[in-house]
Structure 1
């Protein structure tokens, strides 16, 4: 990247002799202004109307004014964005500048500036740091409007900074009138490109679910956390544990959509270290600079959120949800987020989470109030690309391209990085219940995460793998998944060794050497040997077979078993 003190233009198109070196000769140059990774991801959404038009060239800069600058240069480099320093950006002249944040010395840019939100509209308060100075004399005496709609952020020495302010909904214009009335004439209601892309992806929900690794019948719960002490991870990180503890392991996948300011403020390593036990148990944690969170919202069956934009997007998509935290003090009064905070139920600490999610799904299916709040995300649905392009090309004094500007479905996410896992599976509480037709339904819950709320566990047995390093499980296990018998061991002799180390164990199960994981050989403490083999096409694993045999299903020759969305038939002998 260029040195900030260099006087020679670092980008080829900014040089006086650009015609000698450039392959293409664009007619206009646009500056994309990045504040941090959060604003950068939104900025790329805002710039999609230029795709396919070789008359326009975009270069990027970073204001250097964010407390969350970590990761920004890596983001820029990974996407090969043409980058110039902030000092150079202030020296050069551009035909247009686009920013999704209000931070930094934007008033020093020599370009007409389009300012847009970097989330679902304008919903939060944010004051400048002490000593940063006011944008407008007397601004501190006025009750602040939401960040982006207030004179403190829109003016400098009494003059408007942007030449156009993008609003996503008509209701924001009245709040702008209260916060900075002189900016109303330059406001443009252009909708929300992110919301448009999310809705365009809804017909392809099955494809997103498959890309995220969801098997048929398995539900996806998305935990959304903005940043700060009032966020879900800041105020209620225990909800990650509760979700993995209380929701049946085979019926739910849990994905945590973490705000980039958490990731880059504390470091990715630290976030992963905090969540390491949950990652080992199957928590999905996409990198925040990707748009995997968009695919997850389209694929989601439920969400638990806070006062961040993802909560509002999820509600607008019709996903049922709960609030795990909420920053009442930082949410602008009367904003859509304020209304959503009043409408969504809060997570109760003493009621099983599964029950709360089922109630939310039933109550919110036809909730007109939630539908109305979701409608406040955009008053120009499906038209953001069209309206933004019109705004940009008017400012650039160029004819728009001939092809239509339309929303595109969210890209299918790339496979998430596989988590490393140890040779010992996590101990599980297993609940086995018969249905009227005789089918046994198994629900498994990760044992180590259980807390005070136990209504989700009826009469479980504990399944532990032989060799688990956590000694507290040895005396409590009802079923032990044994390691393969040694060359001179029989199943009975290997089981005796396991029984000696697990005083409360009643059954030891081994993978059947004859058929591998599709079969199970179990030995009871009384020495009885029972076998179970899955019928072809319905292999649910020898651990599930062990729980079926423990539940005394041996009286039947065949047993139908359901775990999550999968069904198998176990032949018992």
Structure 2
């Protein structure tokens, strides 16, 4: 881990010779891994704008998840010292969002906070010399962070303040470590406050994530280990595949928020390689050390989660959802996560996913609404107050007057555009019911046998599709520009030769529709959107798909086409 040498310049005896701003107080931010580091930066937000306070960081070295941490620290330019130096120096305050490492050796009043949505999971410390683990049978295990195993060393309480996000946690702390109760402070949840502050900007988040008008955003949330959403379905990553395969591609965007421990254990490159078919189908996959998952939860229309904190945050925001996995053995009995796990329905394998999401949304807006709201309210009993309460706690411990400006919980910034270079032109299985004017498109590559949501699909592929399954079997080929000196008819023949199963070749015609040719007698056809048709979602590929539907169904020469629920249909005029 980064090591500034024998001493950071600001801690040296001659620091006054070098410093530009003279701090009055020094705070140590304790980093355990990337997961705790992202939470730690939220906890340190109350110091922003105060030049009297200098924050330095140190890594405990006690976590197995060290991958990605060096890059995280370097990218954010966090001033770091070694853990050994952190234990030698005296600080006015230390803040930690984890319980790992020799925290008892720090020479500073320590504020300990959760690194997720409260305290919801069991975790036992491995026995070691000087362990804080209580003797067998001394106390019933409590959630990680609320038991003596993590709070007491050699009979002495380690933190000088234990941050709770909700009043209910105090009773669980009383059961797990009664001597710590007088040192507990209910200060809310800064992450939940960021989410709540972002709610008025939901439309902006959706636009930044590439969610088009009329589309729904489904967020998949996965914690780590083999009972997570990602781990439990690792054989074929079933939940991710089904989300993209069964939900119409024009109606849904799907974003997968992967836990940092899973991401950095296997490596971002490996995760992306595993997800490559899903990325081609349009999956959004943000790096987990960013705040994009927060924007996504605010922007979401639905979620599929597991026993991780993001599931609880999503439910607290009122987003309807399903559980794709849930590890009952890990979740602390009686915790908010335990209550949520009893309330949310599980994804079933043999029913279309869209129908399950619709049923969950209806139930969670109706009969379950009040109960889910009660559980969501257990995330914080001090909504939108965490910044102020934490700042008061910190400054009281540092014996420093608070700044005059208010401490405000602010929404996360708009996400930068996510990488789009992996979304390559590919094959789409199209189901069209042109009697009702409805056209739905799905990625062909991800179709499986678990559900049968495509009663009679046909295949549309781009010219040059490398997969022979689609290149040879596609009913419609979306061609591109003409070769030099080539006529439209010559171009159509060339495409038919390359794609032997193709019945229709379509070429884009500016923004108005397409020019197409049939294999039979090379019949020339045009399909044009009437004036007023929006560019989204009525583009060239939709025009070609609808045109093919009219040929196979012998529909009229003018058809109304609907692609996305909630958006008006467009009229396509077809000339033979």
The TM-score range, normalised by the shorter chain, is over 0.9
Correspondence for 1:75: 72
Structure 2: gaps (5+ residues): none
Q: How far has the Cα of 1:305 moved from its partner?
A: 0.3
- d(CA) in 1 for partners of 2:134, 2:123: 18
1:283-316 deviation per Cα after TM superposition (whole angstroms, max 9, x unaligned): 1011111101000000000000000000000000
CA distance in 1, matches of 2:9, 2:35: 25
CA apart distance, 1:537: 5.2
Q: State the SS of the aligned residue for 2:81.
A: coil
CA distance 1:563–1:19, shift in 2 (3 Å): same
1:334 aligns with 2:334: yes
Alignment pair present for 1:280 and 2:298: no
Matched position secondary structure for 1:572? strand
Over the aligned positions, Cα root-mean-square deviation in angstroms equals 2.1
Aligned residues: 563
- Matches for 1:5-44 after TM superposition, within 5 Å: 6-7=5-6, 9-12=7-10, 14-44=11-41
* Unmatched 5+ stretches in structure 1: none
The separation in 1 between residues aligned to 2:162 and 2:98, in whole angstroms, is 11
- The partner residue of 2:401 within 399, 402, 405 is 399
> Counterpart in 2 of 1:410?
412
The more displaced of 412-421 and 42-51 is: 412-421
Which has the larger displacement, 396-405 or 553-562?
A: 553-562
Distance in 2, matches of 1:278 and 1:555, equals 34
Moved more, 142-151 or 253-262: 142-151
With structure 1 as the length reference, what TM-score do the two structures score? Answer: 0.93
Aligned to 2:421: 419
Where 1:332 maps in the other structure, the secondary structure is: coil
Aligned to 2:550: 552
- Return the alpha-carbon distance in structure 2 between the equivalents of residues 389 and 268 of structure 1: 35
- Residues 104/246 of structure 1: CA separation in 2 closer, same or farther (3 Å cut): same
Asked whether the equivalents of residues 136 and 152 of structure 1 are also in contact (C-alpha less than 8 Å), the reply is yes
Asked whether the equivalents of residues 465 and 481 of structure 1 are also in contact (C-alpha less than 8 Å), the reply is yes
Compute the displacement of 1:226 (Å).
0.5
- 8 Å Cα contact 2:503-2:519 kept in structure 1: yes
Aligned to 1:533: 528
Aligned-partner Cα distance in 2 for 1:415–1:463: 28
C-alpha distance in structure 1 between counterparts of 2:435 and 2:340, whole Å:
39
* Partners of 1:517 and 1:230 in 2: CA distance: 49
Does 2:52 match 1:55? yes
Change (3 A) 1:36 1:517: farther
Deviation at residue 69 of structure 1 after TM alignment: 0.9
Alignment equivalent of 1:390, drawn from 380, 389, 392: 392
Tell me the CA shift for residue 214 of structure 1: 1.2
Q: Provide the C-alpha distance between the structure 2 equivalents of 1:537 and 1:458, rounded to a whole number of angstroms.
A: 32
Mapping of residues 44-443 of structure 1, within 5 Å: 44-131=41-128, 134-138=131-135, 141-236=138-233, 237-366=237-366, 367-422=369-424, 425-434=425-434, 440-443=437-440
Residues 209-264 of structure 1, C-alpha deviation per residue, up to 9 Å, x if partnerless?
Answer: 11111111111000000011110000023111111100000110000001110111
Task: Measure how far apart 1:57 and its partner are.
Answer: 1.2
Question: Which region of structure 1 is more displaced relative to structure 2, 444-453 or 297-306?
Answer: 444-453
Post-superposition offset of 1:400: 1.4
Give 1:130 deviation, angstroms.
4.7
Q: Provide the rounded CA distance (Å) in 2 between the counterparts of 1:453 and 1:18.
A: 66
Cα deviation code 1:516-561 (max 9, x no counterpart) = 7743323242432211123355342322111111111776454332
TM (normalized to structure 2)?
Answer: 0.93
Distance 1:137 1:195 in 2: 33
